[in-house]
Amino acid sequence: MLSQKLQDAINIQISHEMNASYLYLSMAAYCDSLNLSGFANWLRVQSEEERMHAMKFFDFLHDRDGRVFLQSIAQPPAEFETVMDVFEQTLEHERKVTSWINELYALAVAEQDYPTQVLLQWFINEQVEEEKNATLILEQLNLVGAEGVGLFMIDRELAGRSLQGDPQSASEA
């Protein structure tokens, strides 16, 4: 059975994931306002992934006879200095999420809750990928600068990102 401590911590993580989804959606809106639809697309997909992560925790609580208690979602920032700023904040946020997942894992180990540890191992692996992707985009932006042709080349590349398992992406292949 899931301990109250773990249930509470997972409920907080659901809130973190939903906040991340909202943050990335706000970043997408900012990029759309700059007519950078590729960056906006990448961030929309990121937003949807975060919502799916929240639902993974949501379903896990129900599977373990726990109870979901949804919390408020904070209003994300709407303005950013540059696209570089967006991705600096993205990497910083993903590092914060990694620390939250690591704290949850440590709690699951302390509680000797093996099913939660298995779930969290998936998230630990996911966070390695999330940080790598944000770092890669930041490095590319550093190479080409915040303006000009290079920015548009990265924008076009990011336009091709879709959710894994998205039926629309399978029909385009």
> Can you give the residue ranges of every domain in the chain?
4-160
Helix axes 83-110, 37-63, angle to 10 degrees: 10
How far, in Å, CA of 23 to CA of 86, rounded?
10
Distances (CA, A) of 141 to 38, 56, 88, 135: 14, 32, 10, 10
The second-level CATH assignment, the architecture, of 4-160 is Up-down Bundle (1.20)
Buried-exposed string 3-25: b where 16+ CB fall within 10 A, e elsewhere: beebbebbbbbbbbbbbbbbbbb
How far, in Å, CA of 93 to CA of 26, rounded?
14
- Residue pLDDT tens, the chain, 173 long: 899 999 999 999 999 999 999 999 999 999 999 999 999 999 999 999 999 999 999 999 999 999 999 999 999 999 999 999 999 999 999 999 999 999 999 999 999 999 999 999 999 999 999 999 999 999 999 888 766 667 777 877 787 778 765 444 433 33
Distances (CA, A) of 59 to 53, 94, 103, 134, 145: 10, 22, 20, 27, 42
